[in-house]
Amino acid sequence: MLHPIVRFGAPGLHAPSQPVAAVTDETRRLIDDMLATMYAAPGVGLAAPQIGVPLRVCVIDLSVGKRDGEVMALINPEFLERDGMQLEEEGCLSVPGFNATVARPSRAVVRALDRDGREITVEGTGLLARALQHELDHLDGVLFLDRLRGIRRELMVRKIRRLQRKGRW
Ligand SMILES: [Zn+2]
């Protein structure tokens, strides 16, 4: 089932999400819905709070469904390692129309449960390290623009608020 993706300003997007207590069929249904919603958008990653579900679940597929074996669903993910630094342009399905260059680790190792409740470890560099950091941030209520330094965040928030007031966003 497709879900509407909530946008900047929706309370659940700016608050930490709760851990999944047990991986069940309900969790797997949530993951399937998140994947369908991500592919329809289309996007390379989606976190549960982006469809209004305050649980620590995210999905990533850098190929957007084009290549088998690239899709990952991460339940209760946490960083084991992060190092290096990369600067690349980044956007978010919850902040459509806005992009910014964000500093992220160039390598990340994450431990999580998969859709069967098995513990997995994912190591990513480059774009995958960026996606992991972006999606795990969502689970803590942090958006990419919160990672911008100084006036850059303030300017983007002002533009979003202006569009929201005009009903154009
Ligand atoms: Zn996002």
89-101 residue pLDDT tens: 999 999 999 999 9
pLDDT in tens, 41-74: 999 999 999 999 999 999 999 999 899 889 999 9
Q: pLDDT value at position 102?
A: 96
The answer on pLDDT for 149 being more than 90 is no
- Contact predicate 55/47, CB 8 Å: no
pLDDT for the residue 168: 87
Whether 65 and 59 have beta carbons less than 8 Å apart is answered as: no
pTM: 0.96
pLDDT at 13 (0 to 100): 97
C-alpha of residue 14 to centroid of ligand 1, in Å? 12
Exactly one of 70, 88, 89, 135 is catalytic; name it: 135
**Cβ-contact 73, 59 below 8 angstroms:** yes
Per-residue pLDDT reduced to its tens digit, 22-38: 999 999 999 999 999 99
Is 135 tagged catalytic? Answer: yes
* CA 151 to centroid of ligand 1, rounded, Å: 21
pLDDT band at 166 (very low <50, low <70, confident <90, very high): very high
Cα 60 from Cα 101, distance rounded (Å): 20
* pLDDT the model gives residue 92: 98
Burial class (CB in 10 A: 0-12, 13-18, 19+), 12: middle
Give the pLDDT score at 68: 85
Q: Residue 156 C-alpha to ligand 1 middle, in angstroms?
A: 15
- Per-residue pLDDT reduced to its tens digit, 103-144: 999 999 999 999 999 999 999 999 999 999 999 999 999 999
